[in-house]
């Protein structure tokens, strides 16, 4: 009888080993987050003067800090602008930049090897002022040591930057814990705290965790763009999972949006949050695809958190109010832990 029990346990561990191998191969081919942000190693070597915050905040890894400038440029249609040069301290071949702008009508981003001769990477302009996290994919890639940012607004206002992150071509995220994502939505019926943006009657923020796809949260509050007189909407909520959990996947189902951002604060934040740090596994993920449908943030255990902050906004004037149907969160279990559980149950 004893030999049968031993054989059973050996067989169990063999099955677990096969399971782990399969999961690991799958994880290595699908992980998409957590690449090292080389901007964290950089230095701000020049900037426009700050009226709020500090230029060094743009690459400090925190979305709880920001840099505002207020300078009128008489040679550029009297624009008010915010400008900085980031020295990455060595040359990199770059395939993606994330840029979180604040109260900005348009911007240009350039790269240089010598801080003298510049090549423009990207330029954008909106109908009104935007405050949004943007993803800038670079295909083909660009190479250089220095990055120069110039953001502007036509109206008499502060112009700012929250954060910049820079990704080296060919870099890879740290390996995910070997394991699997559960199929049970642990966000269902969890508390939702409305941070800002209001809610339409019959469309409260608590609808996003009620498990009912026919209900939704509709952002109520808007602000009027000083320059155009048109409306922009912005809102955010915090979902409390009630205990720290390794997250396998977050699925956000939307009807209308422009930018959706997820953050993972260490504690319940105010609007900007406290200690929302970017590390080699960054804790802010964003999509700027405009429209509706499912947005899947596949984390595969790279992030453990109790709180998930959802921020949704429009970055074009006179857009429809953002509407979120549901936010589902699926936990991640390491295969080793699963194996221990299976062993105990034998």
Model pLDDT, residue 291: 77
Residue-wise pLDDT for 175-186, tens only, equals: 778 899 999 999
- Is residue 5 included in any domain, yes or no? no
Model pLDDT, residue 1: 47
| Residue 330 shares a structural domain with residue 204 | yes
Instruction: Please report which confidence band the pLDDT of residue 226 belongs to, taking 50, 70 and 90 as the band edges.
Output: low
Q: Could you check whether the bond before residue 140 is cis, i.e. omega within 30 degrees of 0?
A: yes
Model pLDDT, residue 44: 98
Instruction: Please report which confidence band the pLDDT of residue 30 belongs to, taking 50, 70 and 90 as the band edges.
Output: very low
Map tokens 């009297």 to a residue.
Answer: 78
Instruction: Please report which confidence band the pLDDT of residue 221 belongs to, taking 50, 70 and 90 as the band edges.
Output: confident
DSSP state of 188: T
Residue-wise pLDDT for 74-83, tens only, equals: 887 889 999 9
Residue 77's CATH number? 2.60.120.260
Model pLDDT, residue 214: 96
**Tokens encoding 256:** 């209308």
Model pLDDT, residue 319: 67
Q: Partners of 313 in the beta sheet?
A: 234, 259
Residue-wise pLDDT for 274-316, tens only, equals: 444 434 445 566 776 677 888 888 888 888 889 888 888 877 6
Model pLDDT, residue 65: 81
Map tokens 């720290």 to a residue.
Answer: 244
- Is residue 44 included in any domain, yes or no? yes
| Residue 203 shares a structural domain with residue 330 | yes
* H/E stretch holding 265: none
| Residue 141 shares a structural domain with residue 267 | no
- Is residue 344 included in any domain, yes or no? no
Mean predicted confidence (pLDDT) in 144-149: 98
- Is residue 79 included in any domain, yes or no? yes
- Is residue 51 included in any domain, yes or no? yes
Residue-range definition of the domain harbouring residue 225: 179-334
More confident residue, 226 or 112: 112
Instruction: Please report which confidence band the pLDDT of residue 33 belongs to, taking 50, 70 and 90 as the band edges.
Output: low
- Is residue 342 included in any domain, yes or no? no
Q: Using the predicted structure, report yes or no on whether residue 72 has a pLDDT greater than 50.
A: yes
Instruction: Please report which confidence band the pLDDT of residue 11 belongs to, taking 50, 70 and 90 as the band edges.
Output: very low
Domains in the chain, number: 2
Q: Say how many Å lie between the first and final Cα of the chain, rounded.
A: 14
Cβ neighbour number for residue 17 with a 10 Å cutoff = 12
Q: What percent of the chain has pLDDT over 90?
A: 46
Domain boundary among 146, 168, 190: 168
Region at 206 (left for phi over 0; alpha for psi -120 to 50; beta for the rest):
alpha
Residue 133 contacts residue 284 (beta carbons within 8 Å): yes
Model pLDDT, residue 31: 27
DSSP state of 212: -
């Amino acid at each position: 009888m004893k030999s049968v029990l031993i054989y059973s346990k050996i067989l169990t561990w063999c099955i677990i080993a096969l399971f782990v191998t399969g999961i690991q191969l799958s994880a290595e081919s699908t992980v998409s987050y957590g690449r090292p942000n080389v901007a964290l190693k950089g230095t701000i070597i020049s900037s426009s003067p700050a009226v709020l915050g500090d230029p060094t905040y743009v690459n400090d890894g925190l979305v709880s800090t920001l840099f505002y400038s207020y300078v009128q440029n008489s040679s550029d249609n009297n624009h008010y602008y915010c400008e900085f040069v980031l020295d990455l301290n060595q040359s990199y071949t770059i395939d993606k930049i994330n840029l979180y702008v604040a109260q900005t009508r348009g911007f240009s981003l350039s790269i240089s090897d010598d801080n003298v001769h510049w090549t423009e990477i990207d330029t954008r302009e909106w109908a009104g002022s935007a405050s949004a996290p943007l993803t800038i994919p670079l295909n083909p890639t660009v190479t250089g040591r220095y990055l120069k940012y110039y953001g502007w607004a036509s109206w008499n206002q502060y112009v700012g930057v929250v954060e910049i992150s820079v990704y080296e071509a060919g870099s890879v995220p740290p390996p995910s814990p070997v394991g699997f994502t559960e199929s049970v939505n642990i966000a269902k019926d969890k508390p939702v705290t409305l941070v800002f943006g209001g809610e339409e009657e019959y469309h409260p923020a608590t609808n996003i965790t009620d498990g009912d796809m026919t209900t939704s949260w509709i952002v109520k509050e808007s602000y009027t763009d000083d320059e155009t007189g048109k409306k922009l909407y912005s809102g955010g909520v915090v979902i409390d999972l009630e205990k720290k959990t390794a997250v396998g996947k977050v699925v956000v189902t939307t009807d209308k949006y422009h930018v959706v951002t997820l953050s993972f604060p260490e504690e319940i934040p105010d609007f900007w949050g406290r200690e929302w740090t970017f590390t080699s596994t960054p804790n802010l993920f964003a999509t700027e695809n405009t429209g509706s449908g499912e947005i899947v943030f596949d984390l595969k255990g790279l992030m453990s958190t109790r709180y998930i902050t959802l921020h949704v906004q429009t970055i074009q004037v006179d857009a429809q109010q953002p509407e979120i149907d549901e936010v589902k969160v699926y936990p991640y279990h390491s295969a080793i832990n699963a194996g221990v559980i299976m062993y105990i149950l034998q």
